[in-house]
Amino acid sequence: MTDRPLILVAQPHMAPLLDALSPRYDAMALWEEKGQARLAEAEALVTAGEFRLDPAMLERMEKLRLIACFTVGYDGVDLDWARARGVAVTHGGDANAEDVADHALGLILAHRRLIVLGDRQVRTGEWTAGAKMLTRSMAGARIGIVGMGSIGIALAKRAEAMRMRIAWWGPREKPELVWRRAEGLEALARDSDVMVIAAKATEENRGMIDASVMDALGPQGLLVNVARGQLVVEDALIAALREGRLGGAALDVFENEPTPAGRWADVPNVVLTPHMGGATYEAVGRMRDMLLANLAAFFAGEALVSPVG
Q: Which residues are annotated as catalytic?
A: 228, 257, 275
- Which residues does 275 contact at the CB level (< 8 Å), separation at least 6? 252, 253, 254, 257
Contact 146, 214 (CB under 8 A): no
- Which residues does 70 contact at the CB level (< 8 Å), separation at least 6? 14, 17, 46, 47, 48, 49, 92, 287, 288, 291
Residue 249 pairs in a beta bridge with 223, 270
Contact 99, 284 (CB under 8 A): no
CA distance 224 to 275: 13
> Can you list the positions of beta strands (E) in 97-247?
142-146, 165-169, 180-181, 194-197, 222-225
Question: Per the omega criterion (within 30 degrees of 0), is the bond before 258 cis?
Answer: yes
Helix (H), strand (E) at residue 82: helix 79-84
Contact 66, 295 (CB under 8 A): yes
